[in-house]
Structure 1
């Protein structure tokens, strides 16, 4: 299948927003999506963006236009052990376009960006029940740190983040 991978633009936010919701439905968490298309535009397409994104397009049938069928959203992080790093937040391909190498093309393109930016590593999270994705990344050489290093993902959000931010340090 002919696929075009390119950097997302502000115009793509509507499609990215749609696919974020599709991904959330697949992950059985559609009620967790709170981001709006406008927030994606604001946070990804200004002078100091919080994220970058690639989109996958395929030609529309019998037309010269393209249809956006996948995306990879990532941002930069820093490892005190390894230096520059990248976190892949989401990689998604619409179900009817899976099995044509589009996910591999997106992942390869993200890895190329990471190498161009001299990142030492690319990391991501995968749900424990999503064996198809875990197998996909493992086949590409990804290491499962849950098993290898016993790391756990922890999060502060909502009221716990508010409480932490407002807590007065004790001397």
Structure 2
């Protein structure tokens, strides 16, 4: 990502009516990261450490990339499977961890609600919340709603509230890392 990512964001052309269709783009997430930096007055890695990782007991992580010329805007992180599962459990607990409210319950609900349907065929056309992909799975006649985070190389965090479960899958499948298929 070049140093002028914010300029590139505003050069993007609107090809559909606002709110009608969505296709994932990292630049939107990078803009959100900058908004957090602006609001908190802290580099993003420090903000995440103080307001999330330390509270969840996450110590074994590594930021792997930063925007060119902007060491305060990291954009990739490596977490252990166990620590990634803590994020899923945080959301299952409506933002609470060991009796402490870390994320407002309303933010958990709003971020995991469906806000748009994607055109991401390679992902099975999921819906999308705020940084969470939305998939439903049917087992027999029972429908299981889920939301998940997806990362580079085929890393997935699935959260299934109906059965109070989250599951982490990891791989190093960098050629087809976001391919998601399901059989019928």
Question: Structure 2 length normalisation: TM-score?
Answer: 0.29
Q: Which has the higher helix share?
A: 1
- As a proportion of its length, which structure holds more strand? 2
- TM norm structure 1: 0.30
